[in-house]
Amino acid sequence: METLMMQENHFDSILVVGHNPQVTEFAKMMTEGSVSKIPALGVVAINFDIEEWNELEEAQGEIDFFIYPKQFKYYMPKQIRTALELS
**DSSP states along 12-25:** --------TTHHHH
Q: For residue 1, what pLDDT band results from cuts at 50, 70 and 90?
A: very low
pTM of the model: 0.72
Distance, in Å, from the CA atom of 3 to the CA atom of 55, rounded to the nearest integer, reads: 11
The confidence score (pLDDT) of residue 22 equals 94
Q: If DSSP codes are grouped into helix, strand and coil, which group holds residue 83?
A: helix
Per residue in 21-79, pLDDT (tens digit) is: 999 999 999 999 888 999 998 999 999 999 988 899 999 999 998 988 888 766 777 77
